[in-house]
Structure 1
Amino acid sequence: MFRKMRRSDRLMAEIDTAVLLDNVQYGVLSTVGKDSNPYGVPISFVYMNNAIYLHCATEGEKLDNIITNNRVCFTVVDAVEVLPAAFSTKYKSAVVFGEAAVVENPEEKRSALIGFIKKYSPEFYEAGLQYIDNAFEKTKVLKIVVRNMTGKARS
């Protein structure tokens, strides 16, 4: 189903790919709409329990596309350094394929939102909990169940 990476010499170990997903700040979610048009959007995320969690408003193109076709691709790139003289670039990247769905379980939703606070605003944890309580009903959380994940690096 998934192609084998052509440059297997740059394949990252699964644990290193997970560490990359734990630490990188943003990724790009790619979906396909009912009109078959692709849609890629940069977005913040949390990687927990072998899943990627995203948050969004209660309506929008991401949600519409996922309702139409829940198969998604999520990519991240980090540690980029252009090597002009070598006509190349150092980098670490990950490509994740999976199925996305709205998180309906309130405990899982809250846990994911707390993950965002811990990742992006740890110094404002208590205020973040209050923010979650205030915005809980106005926020959707999406979960991408990872079906295939590859990491690639050039150092």
Structure 2
Amino acid sequence: MQYRMKKFQLTSEQIDALLHRTETGSFATINEDGYPYSVGMHFIYSNNKIYLHGLPKGQKIDNIKRNSKVCFEVNELIGLLIESDDNPCDTNAEYNSVVIIGDASLVEDLNCKREVLNKIVEKYTPQFAGKELPDNMIKGTAVIEIDIVECTGKYYKQSKR
């Protein structure tokens, strides 16, 4: 484990709060050639799972079908910590971050997809919350569910002197 992980771990409550307030995360899958493929995505955190949505075809969908092992990461830059005016090496960052390792699958159940998509609407476009989502849109949208296998959170902030 990294030194900072030992000293600067987020609590489970802090991890939950960060996953609920963060707007986007990086979703990484494994390509056919074995290289990682990462893309920024909107998401929700619900029932101890990460849910993403998008087009039902494409590289990330193909990758999930081939290999369900994925990584999802969110981070929050709070600010830069500049200790001196003359040395850029004396700059650090105050941040929070979460890294999730898990298994991804495509949600097929229409009721589950509807529930997830409604939560996504609530998070990103609350002015449309409660409006009926058309069945054809639900059927035509991929919903990805990440079952969390491992979740770690870390932070860094300047210590009081």
Provide the TM-score with structure 2 as the length reference.
0.87
Q: Report how many residues are paired.
A: 150
Q: Give, in whole Å, the separation in 2 of the partners of 1:97 and 1:11.
A: 16
Q: Report the equivalent of 1:138.
A: 140
Which residue is 2:112 aligned to? 108
Supply the distance in 2 between the matched residues of 1:122 and 1:44 (Cα, whole angstroms).
Answer: 14
Could you tell me how far 1:79 is from its partner in structure 2?
3.7
Secondary structure, in 3 states, of the residue corresponding to 1:97? strand
User: Does the CA contact (< 8 Å) of 1:5 and 1:11 recur in 2?
Assistant: no
Match of 1:45 among 43, 46, 50: 43
The ranges of structure 1 where at least 4 consecutive aligned residues each deviate by more than 6 angstroms after the TM superposition are: none
Q: Secondary structure at the match of 1:45?
A: strand
Unaligned runs of 5+ in 2: 84-89
Flag the structure with larger Rg. Answer: 2
Q: Of 50, 53, 63, which aligns to 1:65?
A: 63
Residue 148 of structure 1 is aligned with which of 147, 150, 159? 150
Q: Does 1:75 align with 2:68?
A: no
User: 1:31 is matched with which residue?
Assistant: 29
Taking the aligned partners of 1:15 and 1:147, their CA distance within structure 2 comes to 17
Given that 2:110 and 2:138 are in contact with CA atoms closer than 8 Å, whether structure 1 keeps it comes out as: no
What is the aligned counterpart of 1:16 among 14, 19, 23? 14
Residue 80 of structure 1: how far off its partner (Å)? 2.9
Compute the displacement of 1:123 (Å): 1.8
Q: Give the deviation of 1:6 after TM superposition.
A: 2.8
Deviation at 1:52, TM superposition (A): 0.2
The letter of the residue matching 2:3 is: R
State yes or no: 1:124 paired with 2:128. yes
- Give % identity: 33
Cα separation, 2, equivalents of 1:119 and 1:32: 28
Q: Distance in 2 between matches of 1:136 and 1:106?
A: 7
- Report the secondary structure of 2:3's partner residue: coil
Q: Gapped runs of 5+ residues in structure 1?
A: none
